[in-house]
């Protein structure tokens, strides 16, 4: 039986492992940390009984992912899908609220009702076409070309200075700025528009869901499937040099898949010089500084609808959010930063002791910043929820400079697997129709540094596994593996 070794147990690594184990390979996953999951881990990082997600907390892409749909992730674990996908509070108790119901959202935006519907209703109605266009290698003909064209035109609308004129109310413009800022890139930008429009379309289609009990449930369900098909996972196994790794013989069909930074390929003894130059030129972007809070009770948001939204974007007006993100691009940090926060315990009582709560939050910072973001985040939450500071029982801060030690794929604290730009969307990490394949026989890339990029969707792992199987002479579909 041919062997497949996967380095890294993040969602893409274990997606590749699931596919290869089901295809008949003897699968072994090697994980540097002492727990599985990579970006989908859950730890008691503050106090006992308070469960915090290490990286990803809410998963808009999970249940719309073709891989996870075939895998049956919706049925394997319990999901929470709130009525409100995300909220964007403003001063004086105002807020933009993105309900799953797009009509309800639009009505709440008053003068921008028609503008919101015109922008997002065609995308949310055809979200599978949007996912197809954005969730695969870009150098291909999309399955739904009309949807792809609509998406591209809206990228131009939201990714250029014309975006300033898209909405008349601060609620609508703030609501859109919060999703655009997920891309951790200067605003306005085409890359930010691409990320934001995908997220906003998913908000009004399936919603922004998260697993009861924490992101760890995703990893656990996939590892259970690997185990059921004869595979294994080894933790506390940090691979830093491919030349010293005994992963088998590619001549007999053995495979090596890297759910890591592409830089690990530079340690391969047979790497061609041209490929090494291309990997060395691949850029990493700004980073994240994260803080977990254990709270004595629910956050006292001034706006009551914000209290019903697990995901809350904090940053004030669209102009403030744009300036915060552009400051990071200049190598600085705003005194009023954009904060991406999640309060999972409002609907998941397993995340904190009775009557208590947790908050997951991060800000964008320059690479390798050693800033402790606790005070900046606390002030921004307090701005829209007076009394928040008094609820803090404990907190756990992870500066950007510490993230790489926790997850070696997060170079300099970049949680997106590489700078999120349009050029790097086409060249992620190299230009080609099959960027998951490397020039070294049997070696493949299976991480967020390959298409479709960041997000808990397992697609980069599936693409890498499918490419490897095709190269081995076995063409398989998701239906072949899971049907």
Return the CATH number at 165: 3.90.660
Q: How far is CA 156 from CA 122, 189, 207, 231, 466, in A?
A: 16, 9, 24, 45, 33
| Assigned domain for 443 exists | yes
- Domain with residue 19: its CATH number is 3.50.50.60
Residue that terminates a domain, selected from 406, 425, 446: 406
- Of 359, 385, 406, the residue at which a domain comes to its end is 406
What total number of domains does the chain contain? Answer: 2
Asked if 110 and 188 sit in the same domain, the reply is: yes
Closest CA to 456 of 219, 229, 236, 213: 219
Nearest to 278 by CA among 418, 430, 423: 430
Q: Tell me: do 302 and 353 sit in the same domain.
A: yes
pLDDT computed for residue 138 by the predictor: 59
Q: Which residues contact 290 (CB under 8 A, 6 or more apart)?
A: 360, 361, 362, 373, 397, 398, 403
User: pLDDT digit string (tens) for 380-423?
Assistant: 999 999 999 999 999 999 999 999 998 999 999 999 999 999 88
- Residues in the chain with pLDDT < 70? 137-140
Is 170 a member of any domain? Answer: yes
| 109 lies in the same domain as 189 | yes
Q: pLDDT of 17-48, one tens digit each? A: 999 999 999 999 999 999 999 999 999 999 99
What residues contact 331, with CB distance under 8 A and at least 6 apart? 366
Which domain does 93 fall in, by range? 75-210+285-406
**Residues 183, 291: one domain?**
yes
Pairing of strands 26-30, 3-7: parallel
- Kindly state whether residues 429 and 393 are assigned to the same domain: no
Whether 278 and 290 map to the same domain: the answer is no
- Decide if 414 contacts 454 (C-beta within 8 A): no
Taking CA atoms, 30 is separated from 6, 19, 27, 36, 469, in Å, by 6, 16, 10, 9, 20
pLDDT value, residue 135: 74
- b/e per residue 315-350 (b: at least 16 CB within 10 A): bbbbebbbbbbbbbbeeebbebbbbbbbbbbbebee
Answer whether residue 56 is part of any domain.
no
Same domain, yes or no, for 427 and 314?
A: no
- The contacts of residue 464 (CB under 8 Å, 6+ apart) are 12, 16, 257, 436, 444, 445, 446, 450
Residue 464 lies in a domain: yes
113 and 204 inside one domain = yes
pLDDT at 143: 87
Quote the CA–CA distance of 455 and 415 in Å, as a whole number: 10
Distance from C-alpha of 249 to C-alpha of 251, rounded to nearest angstrom:
5
310 shares its domain with 225: no
Q: Provide the edge-to-edge strand list for the sheet that holds 443-445.
A: 232-234, 26-30, 3-7, 255-258, 443-445
| Same domain for 383 and 271 | no
Whether 59 is in a domain gets the answer no
- 109 and 152 part of one domain: yes
The answer as to whether 160 is a domain residue is yes
The pLDDT score that the predictor gives to residue 141 is 77
Domain membership flag for residue 384: yes
Which of these three, 406, 434, 463, is where a domain ends? Answer: 406
| 411 in any annotated domain | no
**82 and 202 inside one domain:** yes
Q: What confidence score (pLDDT) does residue 142 get?
A: 86
């Amino acid at each position: 039986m041919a062997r497949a070794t996967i380095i890294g147990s993040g969602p893409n690594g274990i997606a590749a492992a699931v596919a290869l184990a089901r295809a008949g390979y003897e699968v072994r996953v090697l994980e540097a940390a002492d727990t599985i999951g990579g970006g989908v881990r859950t730890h008691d990082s503050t106090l006992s009984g308070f469960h915090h997600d290490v990286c990803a907390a809410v998963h808009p892409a999970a249940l719309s992912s073709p891989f996870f749909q075939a895998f049956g992730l919706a049925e394997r674990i319990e999901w929470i899908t709130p009525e409100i996908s995300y909220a964007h509070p403003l001063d004086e108790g105002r807020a933009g609220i993105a309900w799953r119901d797009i009509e309800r959202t639009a009505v709440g935006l008053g003068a921008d009702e028609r503008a919101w519907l015109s922008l997002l209703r065609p995308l949310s109605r055809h979200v599978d076409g949007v996912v197809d266009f954005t969730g695969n290698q870009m150098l291909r003909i999309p399955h739904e070309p009309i949807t792809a064209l609509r998406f591209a035109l809206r990228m131009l609308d939201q990714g250029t200075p014309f975006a300033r004129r898209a909405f008349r109310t601060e609620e609508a413009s703030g609501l859109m700025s919060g999703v655009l800022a997920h891309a951790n890139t200067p605003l306005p930008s085409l890359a930010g528009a691409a990320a934001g429009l995908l997220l906003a379309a998913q908000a009004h289609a399936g919603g922004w869901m998260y697993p009861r009990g924490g992101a760890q449930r995703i990893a656990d369900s996939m590892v259970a499937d690997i185990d059921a098909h004869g595979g294994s996972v080894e933790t506390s196994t940090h691979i830093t040099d491919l030349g010293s790794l005994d992963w088998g013989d590619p001549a007999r069909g053995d495979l090596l898949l890297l759910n890591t930074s592409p830089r690990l390929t530079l340690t391969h003894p047979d790497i061609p010089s041209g490929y090494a130059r291309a990997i060395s030129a691949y850029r990493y972007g700004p980073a994240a500084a994260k803080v977990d809070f254990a709270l004595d009770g629910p956050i006292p948001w001034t706006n009551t609808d914000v209290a019903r939204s697990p995901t809350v974007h904090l940053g004030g007006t669209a102009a403030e959010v744009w300036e915060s993100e552009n400051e990071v691009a200049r190598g600085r940090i705003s005194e009023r930063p954009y904060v991406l926060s999640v309060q999972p315990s409002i609907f998941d009582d397993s995340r904190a002791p009775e009557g208590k709560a947790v908050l997951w939050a991060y800000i964008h910072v320059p690479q390798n910043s050693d800033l402790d973001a606790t005070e900046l985040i606390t002030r921004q939450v307090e701005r829209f929820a007076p009394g928040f500071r008094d609820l803090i029982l404990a907190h756990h801060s992870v500066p950007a400079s510490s993230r790489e030690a926790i997850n070696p794929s997060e170079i300099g604290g970049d949680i997106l697997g590489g700078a999120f730009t349009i050029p790097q969307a086409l060249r992620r990490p190299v230009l080609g129709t099959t960027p998951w394949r490397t020039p070294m026989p049997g070696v493949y890339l299976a991480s967020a540094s390959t298409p479709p990029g960041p997000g808990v969707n397992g697609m980069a792992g599936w693409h890498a596994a499918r490419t490897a199987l095709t190269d081995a002479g076995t063409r398989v579909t998701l239906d072949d593996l899971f049907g």
